[in-house]
Each structure stands twice: as C-alpha cells, then as structure tokens.
Structure 1
Amino acid sequence: MDPFLGTEALAAGSLTRYRLKTRFELVHRNVYALNREQLTPVQKARAAWLWSGRRGTLVGLSAAAVLGSRWIDARLPAELNQRSQHKTPGIVLRADTLGPDEIVTARGMPVTSPARTAFDLGRRRGLTLAVIRMDALMRTTGATTSDIATLLTRHKGARGLVQLRRALELVDPASESPQESRTRLLLVKAGLPPERSQIDVFDRDGYHVGRVDMGWETWKVGVEYEGEQHWTNPEQYAHDIDRQAALEAEGWRIIRVSAEILRDRPTTIVSRVWLALRAAGAPVQPPNLNL
C-alpha cells in the first residue's frame, strides 16, 4: 500500500482515527504507511512528495526509482528538490535550478527527466557507483550520452562535471546488473576494456548458443558475472555447464566471475582475462594490476 495523507483519508471516510493510529505508521508529518512495512525507494519518494504538499520535484535516486531504475538501496533517504528551510528525517532536500524540460511526470509525480537524473547521479562522488547508477537508469529509460552531455553545456558551473565527463565515457546501458558494471569497470581500469556487452553467440547453423555478458567477439573471449543463483540452483548450474560447453564448442574462452572473486581477488579476474586474450592471439599489453 502506498503512503497517503492522513487528513485526506479521514476526510474521505476511508479510515477512522483509531484505525489510522493502530494500523499505520507516521512516516512524515501527516504522511502514513502500513505498520512495519519496509518502504521501497518508490514509496519513500511518494511519501516525501506528499510531505512537500505535492509541490516538490523528486530528484536523484528518488527520481531514478520512480522512472523505473533498479538496484536502488531501500535504506537510503528520499531526495526532493524544494527550497525549504523545514527539514525532516528521511528526506534530503536540494535546491537545484531545473529547466522546464528537465522535469517530467512519472507515476503521477514530478520528477527530473532521465537525462537530468543521470546528470545529477553522475556528478556524485565515487566514479564507480556513479557509473553503476547511470548504467541502470539509462538501460531502463533509454536516455543517451548525448542527452546527458547537452546538460553539461547548460550547467557549466555545476559541481562534479569532471567526474561526469569521465562517467559518460564509461557508461554502458547494456549492463544488466551492478556487478556486471563493476566487472566491466575493473577491466577498463586494468587496461583491458571489453569490446562490447551482451554478445549473442550463434553456431554455424544459426542456432542461438547463448549471450555473453561482455567480451571480445574478435577473439572469442568472454567474461560472465554469475550471481548466487548460478552456484546454488541445481537446474541453473546444470544449464550453465551445458551452455559453457556449447560456447567452447564454438571456440569461445569464458572467464567466470563470482562475487567473492570480484570483491577479494580482482587481479585474478584481470590475469585470467589477459591470459585468455593472449592465448586467442590478441595483441594486448600486460595489464595494470594496481587495482
């Protein structure tokens, strides 16, 4: 159930004061949600917008969530653009200047456009996290690097533009998860940038063998990030074995990456990729292992 204004529910007769106090929790002033319910990023965004008297514009991660972006930490506060001196826990207030074409309506609420949202997220400290968030947002909304780059000219004095320019060089909307984005960025930093992501592989008869997360089609070297389900689900695990065998039959070398290797042994990934590329005949220089 979405957050709502208590006064409106009482006026409509849909709730009594007793039920309001016993079944619902006060999130912000006059804004209620079900007791013990963990609010999603979208619900947090709606609660913040209602708190503003429906006058604020949702920005940053709240805008991204409302626009459909995934992988947003539900523990983070809502973000609202509103020039107000009244602060409240659970809402980050911003006072940015937004052009009329930088605001759209989504789920009945005003939010920054996909391009403006990416522009804001890409300027926040932490290049890797900025790229991960931009990847997810661009994949969902179809925003392009040129859409975002247009705002660089419009907002020349904004903070974080140096990082944003670098982020625009690194984003890839084809990335399907934060961990895929992290793996790609690791390889870029090591000096082994993949040629492309989501590579469809077909056999000689045109049968679709599988899709590789990222890699080098020229050299038939692929990198696959595999989440927990790939190791703990027996059916998925069996499917992965068959799929890898089919890819190898087509001459592909596949480097498999787990969360543990990505977190604790990134140089192992880089070394395996480099060795596979060398074995395939790619003219690659020794990678940067200072990661």
Structure 2
Amino acid sequence: MASMRTFAQLPDALTWTAEAQEGLLSAHQCDLHGVGSSRRSRLVQAGRWRAVTRGVVDTIPTDPFRRTAEDVPVRPALPLVVRDSAAARARSRAARAAAHRPRSDTDRLFDHLRRRAAWIGLLAHGPGAIAVGTSALALHGVEGLAWPAIPEVALDRAGRRPHRPGVRLRQFDDGMTVVGFGDPRTAEARVATMGWALAQAVPEQPPARGLALLDSALQLGLVDARGLEVAHDQARGRRGVASRHVLWEVADARAQSPLESFGRWQCIEAGVPPDVLQLPVSGRDGSLLGLGDMAWRQTSGRTLVVEMDGRDWHESSTDGGRRDRDRDNAFAAVPGVDVLRFDVRHVRDGVVGRRVRTFLRR
C-alpha cells in the first residue's frame, strides 16, 4: 500500500504573513522563507494551496466563490494600518475604528473577498505597485463595493510592465498621493489616499453604487466634506464623471448602510428624494422609539418613514428581525406616521422609488 504524502509544516512567519494578506502569498515571500517553486507546486497539486495568478498563491484551498465566514482569516491586516509616519497613522484612525465595529458573518466574508482582490494586485506586481480605485477603497475599509472585484494597481510607466492575468493595470495619476499599508507581517504596500481612490472609482460605478461608496466614506469618517470636494475636483474630466456629478452633491454621512444608499438613489431617480435621513421618531410620551432610515414630510401633515432591511442581519439573528418588527409597530402607532419597509429584493427589482412615489401621490 502506497504511503500518503506528508508535507512539512510551514514556517510560522510565513503562515502569519498569509493571514495578514487574506490568505495570499507572493512567490518572493515564499522564497524568503525557504518555500521554493517546487514545494509550492506540490502544495497546489495536492489541493492544499491554490494558484491565483503568476507569482501569487492562496493558502486557503476553498474556491473563493464557495467560501464561508469560517474560511476568513482571523487576523488580517486592518484597513489602513499604516507604518510610515505619525500623520499617516492619524489618517488611518477612523479606518481602524471602523474595522473593529461589529460585523455579520456575511459582511466579514465579503470584506475578505474584496480585500483579497486588492492584495492579489499588490503581490502580483511587487513593491512598485500601488492599490488604486476599488482596490484602494477595499483596503481603506469602504463599504458598498461590488464582488467579484478586479484587482486594480498603478505602476510607474505601467504600459511597459508585463501584465498579470486578472489584474487591471491603471495609468499612474499625475499628483496622486499614497499612504503606506500593512503591519509587521506583510510586504511593504502602498495605497492611493481616500480622495484619489474615490476619484478613480466613482466615475466607473453604476450611480447607485457610486453613491454608496461616497456615503460610506463619509459615514465611516474616512473623508470629510472638504475632502469630498477635493475628490470631486480630482474626478473631473474622467470618463463617466459627467453623469455622476449629482452623486457628490447628494452624498450623506447619515446613510447607515449601502442598502440605504441604493434605496435612496432609486427614490432620487423617481423624483422623490427623501427630506430627512435618520429621522428621530418619538412615541406619545415623548420617548425616542428609533430612527427612520428615510423620511418624507407630506403636505397633509403626515410623515412617511421608509426602513431598509439588511438581509444578512435578519438571516443571522431572529432577535434582530423581531426588534425591527416591534419598532415598525411602534412607529405605526404614532399619530401621523406611515411606514414602508423594503429589503434587498426590492432594491434588486428597482421598485423602491416607484413605490414611494406611488404612496406619496396617493
């Protein structure tokens, strides 16, 4: 009977580096720790690792499209944990705080997948690569990004460098500023600053998603109103931005989730933009019952409140769904308040704005 092949344990330092980089390693990192090309090939052939693109391997064997929260590394490098200067560390403080906020298993999984795409681009092109566009936003911790995501990096004279399959090389923007990214476990990495990343990404996104990115950057404190104006100026002249100027005007830090941003954009397109976001609703005794995601004050004196349900929250917590139903009932009991509730299915079907408009014209 043939003996089963055994594999020597990987160096701890290499394992820690992979965990920091969403499970990924570059060939150079492997070589530095004594894991040469022959050993990497054997690990891939045995199904222990996955080949990603030239010079990059994934130490998580599960196909990315089949992963669950159990496959997500426990201690990845946090969004924008910088190591180059005190000023850069101060800029990253909001991102680190956002990274430590409670996240559902679904959110953790998709955060991992989006950051993984960013790391693929950085590792494939080495120390000269800069994460830009959506890849930079993923590493900053911005929510609302699409997946699957295409890795995006910029290089000096990128057109003369060999392309890596599955990685988008972008032209280096004149004047673009960057910050350091990573922690002591990772390769040296650079990321476009928030303003430049938004300027690069938003003009290329569908309007609803572009609004979600701007809302998220504001809501998480990764950019302020002045920074958003600068990013808008940096976006001018780019392909697609002419039809996106309104997004910069209506972006709002009060939006609590990408789903709210998607629903709000449908209302704006339908000609019924909300009057208020996060409206405090009080009971008969004056006590605060909760905040309505979006609200419209009607000429009749009544107020329409729209609530947006995040699907993954209710799938993972029956208590969360019950609390929201109780709040709906409490809202509806307030004189002069009407409540409409939408979830991800309504957003996908594009009906939020039409139904709000129909209700308001009723």
| Both proteins in one fold, TM over 0.5 | yes
Pairing 1:132-171 to 2, within 5 Å after superposition: 132-153=212-233, 156-171=236-251
**Where does residue 266 of structure 2 map in the other structure?**
186
Of residues 28, 53, 62 in structure 2, which corresponds to 1:36?
62
Structure 1 residue 58, shift from structure 2 partner: 0.6
C-alpha contact 2:199 2:235 (8 A) present in aligned 1: no
**Where does residue 7 of structure 1 map in the other structure?**
28
Compared CA separation, residues 125 and 12, structure 1 to 2 (3 A): closer
Distance 1:78 1:229 in 2: 26
Structure 1 residue 154, shift from structure 2 partner: 5.4
Alignment coverage as a number of residue pairs: 274
More off after superposition, 47-56 vs 216-225: 216-225
C-alpha contact 2:219 2:253 (8 A) present in aligned 1: yes
SS in 2 for 1:52: helix
SS in 2 for 1:210: strand
Residue by residue over 1:43-98, the C-alpha shift from the partner in whole angstroms, topping out at 9 and shown as x without a partner, is 22122112212211111110110000124334221111121431122211100314
Q: Which residue type is aligned with residue 132 of structure 2?
A: V
Structure 1 residue 209, shift from structure 2 partner: 0.9
**Where does residue 235 of structure 1 map in the other structure?**
319
Q: Which residue type is aligned with residue 27 of structure 2?
A: G
Pairing 1:26-175 to 2, within 5 Å after superposition: 26-34=51-59, 35-38=61-64, 40-82=113-155, 83-85=158-160, 86-99=162-175, 102-107=177-182, 109-124=189-204, 126-153=206-233, 156-175=236-255
C-alpha contact 1:119 1:148 (8 A) present in aligned 2: no
Residue by residue over 1:8-64, the C-alpha shift from the partner in whole angstroms, topping out at 9 and shown as x without a partner, is 323323689436631222222222112235272212212211221221111111011
SS in 2 for 1:69: coil
Compared CA separation, residues 239 and 148, structure 1 to 2 (3 A): closer
Query: Alpha carbon RMSD of aligned pairs, Å?
Result: 2.9
C-alpha contact 2:198 2:231 (8 A) present in aligned 1: no
Q: Which residue type is aligned with residue 244 of structure 1?
A: D
Residue by residue over 1:217-255, the C-alpha shift from the partner in whole angstroms, topping out at 9 and shown as x without a partner, is 685321111233687665344323321222233332111
More off after superposition, 60-69 vs 137-146: 137-146
Distance 1:250 1:106 in 2: 49
Q: Does 1:197 align with 2:277?
A: yes
Distance 1:243 1:105 in 2: 44
C-alpha contact 1:49 1:57 (8 A) present in aligned 2: yes
- Higher relative contact order, chain-length normalized (CA < 8 Å, sep 6+): 2
Compared CA separation, residues 156 and 185, structure 1 to 2 (3 A): closer
Compared CA separation, residues 62 and 231, structure 1 to 2 (3 A): closer
C-alpha contact 1:199 1:211 (8 A) present in aligned 2: yes
Distance 2:124 2:346 in 1: 44
**Where does residue 39 of structure 2 map in the other structure?**
18
**Where does residue 259 of structure 1 map in the other structure?**
344
C-alpha contact 1:66 1:107 (8 A) present in aligned 2: no
More off after superposition, 64-73 vs 14-23: 14-23
Q: Which residue type is aligned with residue 222 of structure 1?
A: V
More off after superposition, 133-142 vs 249-258: 133-142
More off after superposition, 230-239 vs 138-147: 230-239
Of residues 222, 225, 229 in structure 1, which corresponds to 2:305?
222
Compared CA separation, residues 260 and 10, structure 1 to 2 (3 A): closer
C-alpha contact 2:264 2:273 (8 A) present in aligned 1: yes
SS in 1 for 2:203: coil
Residue by residue over 1:170-228, the C-alpha shift from the partner in whole angstroms, topping out at 9 and shown as x without a partner, is 22232233321121112222222112222233346553311211113685321111233
More off after superposition, 85-94 vs 118-127: 118-127
Q: Report runs of 4+ in structure 1 exceeding 6 Å deviation.
A: none
Q: Which residue type is aligned with residue 45 of structure 1?
A: A
SS in 1 for 2:126: coil
Distance 1:193 1:11 in 2: 56
Compared CA separation, residues 258 and 24, structure 1 to 2 (3 A): closer
Compared CA separation, residues 229 and 88, structure 1 to 2 (3 A): closer
Q: Which residue type is aligned with residue 270 of structure 1?
A: R
